[in-house]
Amino acid sequence: MNNSIQLIHRPDGKPQLKDFKFIEEEKPEAGSGEILLKTKYVSVDPYLRGRMRDQKSYIEPFKLNEPVESGIIAEVVESDNDDFKKGDFVNGMLLWKEFQTSTGKGLTKVDSDKASLSAYLGVLGLTGLTAYISLEHIGKLKKDETLLVSGASGAVGSIVGQIGKIKGCHVVGIAGTDEKLKLMKEKFGFDKGINYKTTDDMDKAIKEACPDGVDVYFDNVGGEILDAAMENINKNGRVINCGAISLYNATEVPTGPRYEGTLVRKTVLMQGFLVRDHTNEFGAATKQLADWLNEDKLHYEETIVEGFKNIPQAFIDLFDGKNKGKMVVKV
Amino acid sequence: MNNSIQLIHRPDGKPQLKDFKFIEEEKPEAGSGEILLKTKYVSVDPYLRGRMRDQKSYIEPFKLNEPVESGIIAEVVESDNDDFKKGDFVNGMLLWKEFQTSTGKGLTKVDSDKASLSAYLGVLGLTGLTAYISLEHIGKLKKDETLLVSGASGAVGSIVGQIGKIKGCHVVGIAGTDEKLKLMKEKFGFDKGINYKTTDDMDKAIKEACPDGVDVYFDNVGGEILDAAMENINKNGRVINCGAISLYNATEVPTGPRYEGTLVRKTVLMQGFLVRDHTNEFGAATKQLADWLNEDKLHYEETIVEGFKNIPQAFIDLFDGKNKGKMVVKV
């Protein structure tokens, strides 16, 4: 038998277990030219929340009563395709199923000797690429500048901060527990950390941690933390809008202070970033990330949840910040 | 005797005549190496409101009980400086005085045979340069894209729209009277116009006027018109934040819908622009603007108010949209 996880309700606010349904079905067989894949690691990511909304966006919304799709590392267990052999591991956008067939289109082989399989969903996958490519395109970090990062102990944020240190910047991270702050400083080498949950005045806390102001703000969260960052942004500052997790579960139009005055007065750049728009740069970027990893300049953290049945809960836990680093489900 | 206009109160909300004071003083004389200037044309601009606030910004705030400064065309009436002779006309940031002396530093000579003197405060001055350079750096217009412009019949907006037409774009302008819309279409060649004062639903009006969405939004106003433009922005859209006149007189922190979700979802770029940051490009840009002017591809409108004593009122009238094109005071 095979197991599959479908989206059956569009979440209202924060996703809940009842929005998902487990389906038992026949285990598929590889057809002509196809491969049969066994899911090994499943990436759960905040952006999936956007696809659960019935709204035109950069990518089609999920259909109801069909399996959810995300980044997955799978093992080839049968192959009728010359490009893949039994025992190969592949990385691609695949369905939340224990077994599935594929023509191989859109899949990349990964080498389990070079890095752990789960790393290909994190530091060497879309999260690492997001950090690296967005900093190249929008952040354009210069030595001695100040880089502020929210979601700083998370999958993307922790890599952003480490790249900031590699580039010689003063790096300040924002996270939601003292344990995460400790991780940021001790494992990822951030200069300062701010616990936004225990800080009353984020504006003041950023001012203290960034005495020369903020040159680049890498934003994973949006909302009031973005407001406080904008209060401290420098002339010609750059804001990378990578995510807005604080708004994803909003059911009404979120409002806040207007930024246009600051944008004009300080000639600030704010730009949204989606790594999918930059696939032609993935090769070079992955090589740079792998080099830094091998040179021990880059470290990563994973929260690995065990068990196929725990995928929806692992996804939901993202919105409570229960992950440190990349959240991955091992099947 | 000489006349001078000082700022004596920082405006609370919209500037008022009582914020300014006329001072009679001795007419100055050119000292050694100096020139004596007689003011001919005075530029009044919305950005001056920002300098009236006691707030750190890209440029020093005006001091109370000192004359206001803006772009001015003046005639050299005495010269003890080899670089200038009597009868020359110069352009520079000068004081609101009928007569003033200068060492010549920061002044550019202008040729009254090539264009009217007031044009050097508009299409060939900072306003034309703002339009051209911001479109080059941020807008990056491509043929057949849609360009939306607010403050479209104003000094900068009217030039922005015409450059859009030169680049082969669909150009839609937003202004506050039907007369301005007529001017935009008939004189400046805009494709469509929206009267924001008689339109209930700006979102819908923009949708109708921009059936393919908005690729570039040139924003002079901020506030609710920016909100409506953001509702219609396309994937990879660019927003040039050139001004936020709707907020300049605000006495509380203005709020509105948050943009960060749209920025991420549509990978939109928003960037503030100040022409002063690009002085090294002024030469080439002025040449391009003058060429277009001579080729009859670029037209401009001026509202010329007569009389030194009317400078403060002309400035105040900007905030009621009483100007068509560049507002200039002829002394």
Q: How far is B264 from chain A (nearest CA, A)?
A: 4
How far A272 CA sits from the closest chain B CA (Å)? 4
Strands A66-67 and A89-95: unpaired
> How big is the CA angle at B89 (ends B331 and B295), to the nearest 5 degrees?
100
Q: Give A273's contacts in chain B (Cβ within 8 Å).
A: 264, 267
Tokens representing B33 are 């190496």
Encoded tokens for A75 = 């093992």
Bigger pLDDT: B59 vs A181: A181
* Residue owning tokens 């790393």: A119
- What is the full DSSP assignment across A128-185? HHHHHHHIIIII---TT-EEEEESTTBHHHHHHHHHHHHTT-EEEEEESSHHHHHHHH
Q: Does A242 touch chain B (CB under 8 A)?
A: yes
Per-residue pLDDT of chain B (331 residues; tens, 9 = 90+): 999 999 999 999 899 999 999 999 999 999 999 999 999 999 999 889 989 998 776 678 999 999 999 999 999 999 999 999 999 999 999 999 999 999 999 898 888 888 889 999 999 998 999 999 999 999 999 999 999 999 998 889 999 999 999 999 999 999 999 999 999 999 999 999 999 999 999 999 999 999 999 999 999 999 999 999 999 999 999 999 998 878 877 778 899 999 999 999 999 999 999 998 998 898 889 889 989 998 999 999 899 999 999 999 999 999 998 888 899 999 9
Ramachandran bin of A168, using left for φ above 0, alpha for ψ from -120 to 50, beta for the remaining angles: left
Q: What is the DSSP letter of B60?
A: P
Report, as an integer, the average pLDDT of A22-31.
Answer: 95
Q: How far is B92 from chain A (nearest CA, A)?
A: 21
Q: What was the pLDDT predicted at A67?
A: 97
CB B230 within 8 A of CB B237: no
The pLDDT value given to residue B243: 86
Residue-wise pLDDT for A134-170, tens only, equals: 999 999 999 999 999 999 988 899 999 999 999 999 9
DSSP per-residue letters across A94-125: EESBSEEEE-STT-EEE-TTTS-GGGGGTTTS
B78: buried, middle or exposed (CB in 10 Å: 19+, 13-18, 0-12)? middle
Sequence letter at residue A315: F
Residue B143, chain A, CB below 8 Å: the answer is no
CB spacing of B265 vs A222 below 8 angstroms: no
* Residue with tokens 């740069």, as numbered in its chain: A281
Give the nearest chain A residue to B249 (CA atoms). Answer: A261
d(CA B314, CA B300): 19
A3 touches chain B (CB under 8 A): no
Q: Is the pLDDT of residue A58 over 70?
A: no
The pLDDT > 90 percentage for chain A reads 81
Q: Which residues of A119-132 are buried (b: 16+ CB within 10 A; e: fewer)?
A: bbbbbbbbbbbbbb
The total of other beta-carbon atoms located within 10 Å of residue B319's CB is 17
In 3D, which of A177, A206, A174 has the Cα closest to residue A190? Answer: A174
First CA to last CA across chain A, in angstroms? 15
| Structural domains present in chain B | 2-121+300-330 (3.90.180.10), 126-276 (3.40.50.720)
CA angle B185, B189, B193 (to 5 degrees): 40
| Residue of chain A whose Cα is closest to the Cα of B224 | A258
Are the C-beta atoms of residues A128 and A154 closer than 8 Å to each other? Answer: no
pLDDT tens-digit map of A102-112: 999 989 888 88
Give the pLDDT band of residue A276 (cuts 50, 70, 90).
Answer: confident
